[in-house]
Structure 1
Amino acid sequence: MTRPVTNTAFEALLRAAGYGNAHAAFARQLNYAGRVHGTWRYDAASVYWWLRGRRPAEHVQEAMAKTFARKLGCPVAASELGFTATDVTTNARYPHSPDHAVDTAEQLWAMLAKQLAPQANGAFQNDVALQAALAWRYDLPDETVANSGRHPVTTADVDSLYALADHFTELDRRHGGGSPRTRAIMIDLLTRQVSPMLRGAYTDATGRNLMRAVATLSGQLAFMSYDAGNHPAAQRLLTVALRLAKAADDHLYGAHLLANLATQAVYLGHAQDAARLAEAAIDGAGRAPAAVRARLYTTAAGAYGRSGERRACQKALAKAERALDRTDAGSGPRWAAYFSAGHFAGTAVKCLSDLRLYRQALRHAPGAVTLAKQNARTRALHTALIATTHARAGDVDAACDWGRELQVHVHAVRSARVTHRVRELAATLSPYRAKSEVNELLVALPASPAHN
């Protein structure tokens, strides 16, 4: 049974322009009008879904308006196309289907292409995050994600997306996510290249692999946005990535994304909800490889520490440490390979310090800086954290020693989180400013590392 038309304004414009029974012709003209944005692959099926409520991204609507205007010989505004405003810019709700996830992703990428700067408003949406966790965990798997677009998507196409994701991940770890230029390049890739692939032709198997690859890219952009301080965008990108991971039927990567959402919630002061998100990630991961379990339990420990749950925090740390001991190189998914004993130790310092167990926290300090060379941002974060923990424990001399070490690492990293930790250290040391070494350090520390 054919679905009824819901966008009558768009239908009327098609008829007026002579495309009422020539949807494929309109799609070809639209692809031509949008060539400045890359290779578009819209077809008659795309027009079918636009007539029935699917909303294209804003830059696609602008190209549609130009196509109609050229054919009709009079101006046509995008507002006349009949596409209702979406709430993608104001909330982070979990998409209800793979098609909805693709639509939401395209709209979000288009929005970010216009505005990369952190938003002045738009708090973390706790309820929406918890609802996303429940939907990801308990919704039934998608029966199929196959698509019948015009241009075929191959395994090689998808593999290229994984390679690009690896490249952006390395840039993020080396330099931080605060560079608008790097994020702009990534958004351009998603808008111009990835979006047409999602509208292409692929089998269920290739489609699930494609969804996983796009989830990886969206998840990486989300983490970079989080690191840059654009928290509304980060939450929305993570939610879309979570739905794409569900479509890919990859529950391990979905658990990883949910843990990233929990990490963001901890950072923004929503520790109890972060703990629930981490618990959902652990539950959803099931019988996961040791590397994945170590990462998830470490995230849970951070949430428990921040919310003051000492027993739960220490229990989660113990589970994470045991999982680390059982981790074999190459035994888990490739994205989990980044997580090391150094990452665990850094979180241990943080959550035990949150519990004011400074002596226990500082036992993990040497391990927290045993990081691979490319993890420059994490090294800066951990070094600042250790310095602050020493200051809170009353050892100002040690805090200054670590603070001077921080100066070595901080200048090359653009990260709002690093900036926050530098300022946290400065605030903790300020009462001791009468000491010459403290004053010298405070003067030398950059207020905004790498011009964040």
Structure 2
Amino acid sequence: MTNAAFERLLSAADYGNAHAAFARQLNHAGRDQGTWRYDAASVYWWLRGRRPHEHVQAAMVETLARKLGRSVAVTELGFGAVDNVGMCIYPASVDGATDTAEHAWTRLAKHINQHASEGFDSGKALQAALGWRYDLPDETVSRNGRQQVTSTDVQSLYTLADHFTDLDRRHGSGSPHTRTVMAELLVRQVIPMLRGTYTDAVGRDLMRAAATLSGQLAFMSYDAGEHATAQHHATLGLRLVKAADDRLYGAHLLANLATQAVFLGHSREAARLIEAAIDGAGRAPAAVLARLHSTAATAYGQSGERRACQLALTRAERALDQTGKDPGPRWVSYFSPAHLAGAAIRCLSDLCLHKQALRHVPDALNLGSQNVRTRALHTALIAMAHARAGDTDAACNWAVKLGQHAAGIQSTRVRQRVDELAASLGPQRESPQVNEALHTLAAMPAAN
């Protein structure tokens, strides 16, 4: 179906048979938005019903108004209202994912947070899982654009992702500055590459690298408490990795969405997300399966499904024992016995199996020096497990250790666990030891 309103405006502005000229003027009008590379084909698809994002529509209005000599309202374009909530919708095509990425990263780079008042949408997360799992694969992702993209160019993006991952693990993601810098780099470096020229093989690796970066930005946003933004970037990462035809990393991103759902208390939806991830991963390397089953355990534990939780823990432990023979992709190398132990403490505590949970304490703290935030999170889990078990003295001792481990970390997740521990100890504040622990927790800096 043709967008008749847009077609009439183009004709009135003498762009009816000059779509390439309109695209050039549009690129000029949007030069401060990043590296736009719209062409006649873009105009064709807009006329056939594809809706550009709001910042593109604003540039269209500016371009048409200048040519027509009058003001043009956005509503005259015929695209309808831009659905901000729809930003968490799984893009239908690779081009749609590129457009979505440019829009999302540009807004983040410019400190425009359209998701500030929104939360995690479990329905859209499940829709994204279905799209990733069951949509037909992209036959090809090769493209002809202005910039030639090589395998070496793509490798530089993995290096960039490693840098931000390390920053995140050491310092947390509470500072919006880090995410802004990352978004600016994505707009300047990744978008021109996505719109460039590449073969199918290079293109799929490029999509995987872009998915890695989008997934890292999603996790950082989740750690900062910006849950709609996190979900948006995770969904975008799922579509990009679908184009890369990398089912293992797709399962990892879906597991991250499940982890976010568990954090927010959506345990049943989290279970469905992680089940889709495990199903989609298929005969995956042991390290990947260990990570996926540990996430499943946390979802089942929170929802009170004791048998399913313990079965998932057993599967994760067995898989982790096999990682020496089957280490899996490089990105899963972070997952260690300590990460599994942290998941076990959480899910067993949720099931009120406190003694079983506390057996995992030594392993949970056997972390590398780079895992600063994870150490703080695990320390908080241990303190809470002791508090739930009724051992106030031990809970207070671990609360003091938490104050030491969490110093300098900016993380909403750490802050929330600190607050939960303080609330648990609060009724016994008349005890000198509890009072000291509460003072230690209160002295910790806020996440932002």
Q: Same fold (TM over 0.5)?
A: yes
Which of 391, 395, 404 is matched with 1:395 structurally?
391
Q: What do the CA deviations read for 1:351-406 (whole angstroms, capped 9, x no partner)? A: 11111111111111111111121211111111111111111112222112111111
Aligned amino acid, residue 315 of structure 1: L
AA of the residue aligned to 1:14: L
CA–CA separation in structure 2 for the residues paired with 1:446 and 1:208: 48
- For residues 2-17 of structure 1, the aligned pairs below 5 Å read 6-17=2-13
**What's the C-alpha RMSD, in Å, of the aligned pairs?**
2.3
1:94 matched to 2:108? The reply is: no
Q: Secondary structure of 1:148's partner?
A: coil
Moved more, 260-269 or 72-81: 72-81
Distance 1:451 1:290, change over 3 A: closer
- Give identity over the alignment, percent: 67
- Residue 70 of structure 1 and its aligned partner are, at CA, apart by 3.5
For each residue in 1:231-275, what CA deviation from the matched residue of structure 2 results, as whole angstroms up to 9, or x when unmatched? 122222212211221111100011101111111111111212211
Deviation of residue 182 (structure 1)?
1.2
1:162 to 158, 161, 168: 158
Moved more, 198-207 or 313-322: 198-207
Question: What residue is the counterpart of 1:186 in the other structure?
Answer: 182
**Distance in 1 (alpha carbons) for counterparts of 2:132 and 2:79:** 28
Identify the residue that residue 15 of structure 2 maps to in structure 1: 19
1:120 alignment counterpart = 117
Q: Which moved more, 1:337-346 or 1:54-63?
A: 54-63
CA shift for structure 1 position 100? 3.1
Q: Does 1:361 align with 2:357?
A: yes
Alignment of 1:225-374 (within 5 A): 225-328=221-324, 331-374=327-370
**What is the CA–CA distance in structure 1 between the aligned matches of 2:172 and 2:96, rounded to whole Å?**
31
Among 209, 215, 218, the alignment partner of 1:213 is 209
Aligned to 1:134: 130
Residue 106 of structure 1 pairs with residue 102 of structure 2: yes
Letter of the 1:426 partner, please give it. Answer: A
Instruction: Summarize the Cα distance change of 1:57–1:190 in structure 2 as closer, same or farther, 3 Å threshold.
Output: farther
User: SS at the partner of 2:328?
Assistant: coil
- Which one of the candidate residues 379, 404, 409 is aligned to 1:408? 404
Count the aligned residue pairs: 447
Deviation per CA, 1:131-181: give whole Å up to 9, x if none.
Answer: 322332222222222233343333233222222211211111111122111
CA distance in 2, matches of 1:57, 1:91: 10
The CA distance in 1 between the partners of 2:325 and 2:55, in whole Å, is: 45
Q: 1:65 aligns with which of 61, 78, 83?
A: 61
Q: Could you say if the C-alpha distance between residues 9 and 118 of structure 1 is closer, same or farther in structure 2, counting changes exceeding 3 Å?
A: closer
Match of 1:173 in 2: 169
Please identify, of 427-436 and 347-356, the stretch whose mean Cα deviation from structure 2 is larger.
Answer: 427-436
Distance in structure 1 (CA, Å) of the matches to 2:374 and 2:411: 10
The alpha-carbon deviation at position 432 of structure 1 amounts to 2.0
Say yes or no: does 1:380 pair with 2:376: yes
Question: Residues 31, 323 of structure 1: CA spacing in aligned structure 2 closer, same or farther, 3 A cutoff?
Answer: same
Give the alignment's TM-score, normalised by structure 2.
0.92
Q: Which whole-Å deviations, capped at 9, do the CAs of 1:311-358 have from their partners, x for residues lacking one?
A: 211111111112112113983112111111111111111111111111
Amino acid at match of 1:119: A
Q: Which amino acid aligns with 1:116?
A: N
2:250 partner SS: helix
Take 2:112 and 2:369, find their aligned partners in 1: how far apart are those partners?
32
Alignment correspondent of 1:49: 45
Q: 1:301 to 1:222 in 2, by over 3 A?
A: same
Letter of the structure 2 residue corresponding to residue 297 of structure 1: H
Instruction: Provide the C-alpha distance between the structure 1 equivalents of 2:248 and 2:111, rounded to a whole number of angstroms.
Output: 33
